Structure 1
Amino acid sequence: MLKKMSEYKYHSGIRLRIYPSHQQKRIIKKNAETARFIYNEMIACSKEIAAFGKLSIYIQGITERIQVLRERIKSVTSLKAHFLWMDDVDLDANMIANAKKNYAHAWKCYRCSETKNPPAFHRRTYALSYQTNPHYNRQRVSEATLTNGSAGFRDTSHVYVPKLGRIRCKGSRKILVHIFSMHSVRIGTMTVSRDACGGYFLSMQLASDEPFVTSLPKTGSAIGIDLNLKNFYMDSNGRCVNHPVYIQRTKRRVTRAQRILSRKARGCRRQHIPLRRGVRYQAQRRLVARLKQKIKRQRQDFLHVQAMDLIKNHETIVAEQLDISRLIQLRRCTKAIYEAGWRTFLDFLEYKAKRYRRIFVKVNPAYTTQRCSACGYILPTGQRLQLSDRQWQCPSCHVIHDRDRNAACNILQRGLATLSK
């Protein structure tokens, strides 16, 4: 019997580069813009309902209008009846359902305080994306695989997507061979996207009862890490990992390329040429987008490598629970905090620990810098360390501490105490 995605034991994902034809690119653009329109239309309906709710008088016309708006949000049929162009044969029905699902999920995250601001409109950009799903015939298919659904792989070099048809794809050969060798793998949500550089990608959610990776040998070691701005992090063993230098070189290239882009934009305005039709402007814009994408990939590769190094060598990793929204209030450090990628690094550690069955703990970072890891003495208010203080001596036990290593040791002690409860 076919199982749902949530009923499988292991979950993973894969991202492929796809090479659609001109006709397929046109359909991708149409579906992506329709998904954005549906999401924005529902946001507009909810804003209008909220505005009507502030009125303190009863008006029959307003009551009827609110009922129409609520029906439009709930029912796809009502939405299609209002916008007749949505009956286009190139539009994927699963795309419409996923746009509604994303709208509901955005409000759920806001109500659960996962996001601070209510859902807002999606603006039009050079990047496009929409979501679809494969379907499995329960009468013909007893077990879901990568190839027997309405969407999925046809072989290791081609995928089939609803409304798009067969598309040539390219991905990690090692990963593709591994998932094809597994007994049963079900495909969940599929995301078709185009980045600002013009490259097309397909992301798939995968689920299986077999593990997607082999388990790592047990090491029995535990380590605490302190994230800071002077270097990327320092662990409780005294190992220091610095920020990558090569990202700064790419940033300088982006700065020069953006100056040229600004000059080309001014030239288009002087000649009264729309930016989307300016050939030289668009060529330079794609160059800037490629350089920014390179910075993103360099940073992600660095974070993946560092997270995997910790997961391989240590069985228990303890980190601090950072509140980025409070840290960025330090105006001098806002840019450095954003560029460090701490939140992404902690997310990588969390999902990799689950994947390789390691222990990852987040602890409250309060007083981890101001506390002596040897005797537990906490500096009083008048003697607190400043950002420029890199070393200090404990007034109680007279041990000289490195600021970051001492914080990492305190984080480790607090994490082990949490696990022992």
Structure 2
Amino acid sequence: MSDALDGLVILDFSRVLAGPLATMVLADLGAEVIKVERPGVGDDTRAWGPPYDERGEATYFQSVNRNKSSVAIDLATADGAAHARALAARADVVVENFRPGVMDKVGLGWDALRAERPELVYCSITGFGGSGAGAAMPGYDLLVQALGGLMSITGERDGEPQKVGVALVDVITGLFAAVGILAAVRHRERTGEGQRVEVDLLSSLLAALVNQGSAYTLAGAVGGRMGNAHPSIAPYELYPTGDGDLVLAVGNDKQFAALRGVVGLAEDPRFATNASRVEHRDALRDALIAALATRPAAEWVDALTAVRVPAGVVNDVAGAFALAERLGLAPIVEVPREDGSSARLTRNPITLSATPPRYRTAPPPLAAS
């Protein structure tokens, strides 16, 4: 069985998270990905630990580097740059996330490579754009979460701004990069013409603000921190119960009517519509807390789920994987290592009926110089 991206060769100069995530997604779908790393050091995330696996390798690196081969090249030397250009000559796609201008200095920039291969797809990932005032700014996820507004809407109402618990901006940017690369490859299939794909962390975050972003662009509304509450939906947050906390994610009036019936909440014109519930969210919260105090969270989950009200408890990471297992989602895959052992990694969430993702090789050891 052939894979969806059989025959697509990607030369990957990217490090850390956004770029490696993009290329791993494509590798899972069948692309050949050659990861270029610094001799003796490799990708920064090889040293980002703890935690480490049973072999002493950083789990961070392994999260986004399966199905790749590694080659160690010192791009600062003439021989290293020549080696990299030789690899680029047979690649369909080049991915890089160096500071703007670095690849140009070693003869691996977009202009130099497309002059030799007009069909090349070349993806650059930056923090704040490849030109202009943002080109020199360092692109770290935490910094972009702060500058891009995400921290301003994350955290308790009266607390300090908070970052999300993972490098979410890098993840989003990597997914946008993968989409851009696939679009460029499709265009080349039709026309024979390559092109440059450019994705930056700040623009990716602004796009991912979705309703918070459109609230500002269309209505001039600037969101703020609301804890676990939602600016446009109620009840849609975390509630204490008789034992444990309960998440309610009620998205329409039918669900609210079912919720009201299960918890024994009296009819109240203030809660008749979503807009009215949002207007009176504090009164609604008080009423729900009083009603939910009579039973533990687990019992409420069972009763509410039975009438299709979205409700649940807050799992830790282990609990989340256990839930996925119980639901038959098979969240963990065993990926073979060179020594015959295997790495337990999170599976690719894409399911394809004819060309599903495959897990050919575990994240590679750093190649010798």
Q: Same fold (TM over 0.5)?
A: no
TM-score, reference length from structure 2 = 0.25
Pick the structure with more helix per residue.
Answer: 1
Which of structures 1 and 2 has the larger relative contact order (alpha carbons within 8 angstroms, sep 6+)?
Answer: 2
TM-score, reference length from structure 1 = 0.23
